[in-house]
Structure 1
Amino acid sequence: MAIKTKLKIFNDPIYGFITIPSEGVFNIIAHPYFQRLRRISQMGMSYLVYPGAHHTRFHHALGSLHLMQKTVDLLRFKGINISGEEEEGLYIAILMHDIGHGPFSHAMEHTIVEGVSHECISLLFMEEMNKDFNQSLTLGIEIFKGTYHRKFMNELVSSQLDMDRLDYLKRDSFYTGVPEGNINSERIITMLNVLDDQLVVEEKGIYSVEKFLVARRLMYWQVYLHKTGVAAEQLLIRILKRAKELIESGESLHCSPSFSYFLNNRIRKEDFDAEVLQRFSKLDDYDIISAMKQWTDHHDFVLRNLSSMLLNRDLLKVKLKKKPIDLQKLTKHKNNLQKKYQISEAEASYFVFHGEISNVAYSTDAKKIKILHPNGKTSDVTKASDQLNLKALSRPVTKYYICYPKPKD
């Protein structure tokens, strides 16, 4: 049997060569639970808008690991004591922070399973793998949960300026071809420091942070909340909803055993035991795509058409409004669809619907980004900045959408 080399080098299109820092980290990456991330798209259905957006959660996890390595080296250079065990814990926490994502990432969150976030499932995966690795992930899990006594370490993994965001903005900008998201993550990392167990940014780095927050806002409206991408994700959610309805009524649907289990069972947080986790670990984008390909020939009008629309990118027409949608317009579109295809109002509701999307680039309610001034005092980035529009970025912006079929000639 061939012996695997433990210290691998990955060639990443964003950062160049990424090194695997330890045998323990290598073993996590080699685990089937982690390898599954190669089959989970980073940006859900966004490839229907930006054809290059086919990168995966695997790419993102390795990129986040690379940035964490840079950060650990930088903080040590500035005199912050980080032990070897803590370093390994940070790498484990950031590497596995997204391991709980389901098919198409956020698109099907809270849908395949009810009321269970990907962060919760990530923690379940980490705890299960901790058994396989002789409890060596314990410190990484504590950092991930925020229970470790050195609080700044959790901020590096999960905050408004963490390695997760620093990677995905730059990476998603690259793969979508949207330059507005191309932040200078290395410059931001160079300006990081720790004061009173809190992560801070030295004053010289304030412009890079401003650019980061503006880039985040632009990427959300231009990419993550692009109206066509939102419509595609809503179709995917409705396909799953319809499939579950048909199964409950006694229909038989062709799909993989893993997908079938979640369609046939109502799984909530309290149901998520080791067996369910094992089944979830076998579920990825390919299960959903494969099922939809088969469902395009199903006799059910709703399931057949929804699946065909998504696979063939024959999507619904989407309109964004600044004010709530006029429900009379919604009813009009439903009535037209019912008459045209002789379907019920419930069936028409799968193709005609409305909703809202909101975005806040910087939340004043969450852990704030602190700027460290030369006199040793800190202030919130919105107060330290001379950018007048930075305060505006902390206010939520809500838009309303309506979806309905495009008129056919």
Structure 2
Amino acid sequence: MSQKTFEFRCPIYGFVTLSEWEREIISQPAFQRLRRIGQLAFTNYVYPGAMHTRFEHSLGVMHMATMLYDGIVARSRELLESEFGYNDTGFERYRALARLVALLHDVGHSPFSHPGEEIFSPKDDSVESERYAHEDYSTAIIRHHFKEVINNHPVNDNYRFTADEVAALLEGSADTKSALFWRDLVTSQMDADRMDYLLRDSHHAGVDYGRYDWRRLVQTVEAVPGVRGGSPTLGVSEGGLHAAEGLIIARYFMFTQVYFHKTRVAYDHHLKEALKEILPDGRFPPPTPDLLDEYLDWDDWRVLGALKNGGGGEHGRRILDRDHYREIWHTPEIPGPVDEKKLKLQRDELGNLVAAEIPAEKSWYNTGSSDIPILTENPVRERKPLSYFSSVAKSIKLINQTRLYVKDEDRDEAKRRLRKEGDDNG
């Protein structure tokens, strides 16, 4: 069945093309909701241009995943045919499947994206229970709210995959290696998700920190043979090594300068506390079939309306009045024992003036089994981890910074106490 195509303007790639089927998918209410889910919460209070949404990011991830897919097939077709038995029909099928997984990967995000995840429901009633993640909501929504438009669309007569297959690939439960290989396009250290959000967030925030040579990565991405007879994985040829390093460095800078900005994380704290006041039982409902509609009713607009009506308590008022907590002291990004001791001293000296203690913990890159594989070119083609070549990848350490915040009206007294503590130890 031939399809019409539709083009959307995109500030990152110029144009993003959708098929008629994909256009019907994004027209579903559960996808249109992403127009009302901000990508970066209240980051626009610091970087005013950061007003973009999960809607445009999802289109961008689909576009980036498609470029990566086409590059892999162009350079690794013979390997994929021998490993997975693909023919032309198989390549077309998995291309369509990969596009839908990329397009729908974020449909489960809560209002204002990541800050709301801290108040997702626990998976069971135990005290230490793991909470649901937005991926759990995404896969449940795909299975229940996109089932009809995926399973029964006439175009799918060409591919014959189901909404459950889309969700299974996203969550990593697909039952074939030939399908799971493509999961790396949306869940790896060089996936289309982070490749798009770094570029897009950087563009809208008006900073250059998230820029890297994405075109070179698209030109050098390959299926790299597995270790000791294992399945191939997503990697790059040696010519893309420095572009892969650039992606890691861009992610580090975006987290330290934008995502972990001291004011932005203060608003994340206020939002989390305000949501506890607004939501029934102080948390989002779990992603069970009977509660998905209730969850999908929540978006940024509804939360802002509740804040405007006074439903968020003190923290909601602070968001509306831009009266956020102020950082008064912080540890280094990688604190040592002396820094941990000083944190305790500062905390004790400030006493009841500490309004919030906010950690910033992130690993920018993981070596080991998830290390980006590099396919060397000389003297023979063989697989090596990026960290084998890259001093950047080898030197990256976990950031575990702690910040102490006080109310604006307490800043002068807080500074006085910290100066006194410094004088007493000087």
2:237 is the alignment partner of 1:207: no
Partner AA of 1:309 in structure 2: R
The residue aligned with 1:263 is: 280
The residue aligned with 1:312 is: 321
The residue aligned with 1:344 is: none
Query: 1:178 aligns to what SS in structure 2?
Result: coil
Q: What CA distance in whole angstroms lies between the structure 1 residues aligned with 2:244 and 2:119?
A: 34
The residue aligned with 1:377 is: 382
Q: Deviations over 1:262-317 (max 9, x none)?
A: 42476664xx322310111121011111111111xx7xxxx543222111212111
Q: What CA distance in whole angstroms lies between the structure 2 residues aligned with 1:51 and 1:79?
A: 43
Report if aligned partners of 1:116, 1:268 keep a CA contact under 8 Å in 2.
no
The residue aligned with 2:401 is: 399
Q: Deviations over 1:31-68 (max 9, x none)?
A: 11011000001112211111111100011000111112
Cα distance, 1:144 vs structure 2: 1.4
Cα distance, 1:104 vs structure 2: 0.5
Residue of structure 1 aligned with 2:100, choices 70, 88, 92? 92
Q: What CA distance in whole angstroms lies between the structure 2 residues aligned with 1:240 and 1:328?
A: 32
Partner AA of 2:385 in structure 1: D
Residue of structure 2 aligned with 1:58, choices 48, 55, 61? 55
Q: Percent identity?
A: 29
Where structure 2 has 5 or more consecutive residues not aligned to the other structure, the ranges are: 78-85, 123-130, 152-161, 226-231, 333-338, 413-426
2:299 is the alignment partner of 1:284: yes
Name the CA shift for 1:335/1:86 in 2 (closer, same or farther; >3 Å).
closer
TM-score, normalized by length of structure 1?
0.82
Where structure 1 has 5 or more consecutive residues not aligned to the other structure, the ranges are: 245-261, 337-350
The residue aligned with 1:126 is: 142
**Structure that is richer in helix per residue:** 2
The residue aligned with 1:321 is: 331
Q: What CA distance in whole angstroms lies between the structure 1 residues aligned with 2:50 and 2:30?
A: 23
The 5-angstrom pairing of residues 13-32 of structure 1 reads: 13-20=11-18, 22-32=19-29
Query: 1:123 aligns to what SS in structure 2?
Result: helix
Cα distance, 1:149 vs structure 2: 1.7
Cα distance, 1:103 vs structure 2: 0.4
Report if aligned partners of 1:6, 1:23 keep a CA contact under 8 Å in 2.
yes
Q: What CA distance in whole angstroms lies between the structure 1 residues aligned with 2:247 and 2:365?
A: 10
Q: Deviations over 1:225-253 (max 9, x none)?
A: 11111111011111223x16xxxxxxxxx
Name the CA shift for 1:279/1:366 in 2 (closer, same or farther; >3 Å).
farther
Partner AA of 1:277 in structure 2: L
Q: What CA distance in whole angstroms lies between the structure 2 residues aligned with 1:366 and 1:54?
A: 36
Name the CA shift for 1:267/1:104 in 2 (closer, same or farther; >3 Å).
closer
Cα distance, 1:331 vs structure 2: 6.0
The residue aligned with 2:335 is: none
Partner AA of 2:383 in structure 1: T
TM-score, normalized by length of structure 2?
0.79
Cα distance, 1:134 vs structure 2: 5.6
Cα distance, 1:18 vs structure 2: 0.8
The residue aligned with 1:355 is: 358
Query: 1:194 aligns to what SS in structure 2?
Result: strand
Name the CA shift for 1:226/1:134 in 2 (closer, same or farther; >3 Å).
closer
2:232 is the alignment partner of 1:224: no
Residue of structure 1 aligned with 2:118, choices 98, 110, 117? 110
Q: What CA distance in whole angstroms lies between the structure 2 residues aligned with 1:93 and 1:174?
A: 24
Report if aligned partners of 1:92, 1:140 keep a CA contact under 8 Å in 2.
yes
Query: 1:180 aligns to what SS in structure 2?
Result: coil
Query: 2:251 aligns to what SS in structure 1?
Result: helix
Residue of structure 1 aligned with 2:185, choices 147, 156, 168? 156
Name the CA shift for 1:35/1:130 in 2 (closer, same or farther; >3 Å).
closer
Cα distance, 1:79 vs structure 2: 4.6
Cα distance, 1:364 vs structure 2: 2.0
The residue aligned with 1:47 is: 44
Q: What CA distance in whole angstroms lies between the structure 2 residues aligned with 1:37 and 1:334?
A: 42
Name the CA shift for 1:134/1:316 in 2 (closer, same or farther; >3 Å).
closer
Name the CA shift for 1:218/1:91 in 2 (closer, same or farther; >3 Å).
same
Cα distance, 1:187 vs structure 2: 1.4
Query: 1:133 aligns to what SS in structure 2?
Result: helix
Report if aligned partners of 1:110, 1:116 keep a CA contact under 8 Å in 2.
no
Query: 2:401 aligns to what SS in structure 1?
Result: strand
Partner AA of 2:261 in structure 1: H
Partner AA of 2:138 in structure 1: S
Partner AA of 1:145 in structure 2: E
Report if aligned partners of 2:285, 2:295 keep a CA contact under 8 Å in 1.
no
Partner AA of 1:406 in structure 2: D
Partner AA of 1:99 in structure 2: V
Cα distance, 1:329 vs structure 2: 4.7
Q: What CA distance in whole angstroms lies between the structure 2 residues aligned with 1:102 and 1:403?
A: 26
Report if aligned partners of 1:330, 1:353 keep a CA contact under 8 Å in 2.
no
Cα distance, 1:8 vs structure 2: 1.7
Cα distance, 1:143 vs structure 2: 2.3
Report if aligned partners of 2:275, 2:282 keep a CA contact under 8 Å in 1.
no
Cα distance, 1:334 vs structure 2: 5.8
Q: What CA distance in whole angstroms lies between the structure 2 residues aligned with 1:144 and 1:75?
A: 19
Partner AA of 2:57 in structure 1: H
Name the CA shift for 1:398/1:39 in 2 (closer, same or farther; >3 Å).
same
Partner AA of 1:13 in structure 2: P
Q: What CA distance in whole angstroms lies between the structure 1 residues aligned with 2:330 and 2:369?
A: 28
Q: What CA distance in whole angstroms lies between the structure 2 residues aligned with 1:292 and 1:366?
A: 45
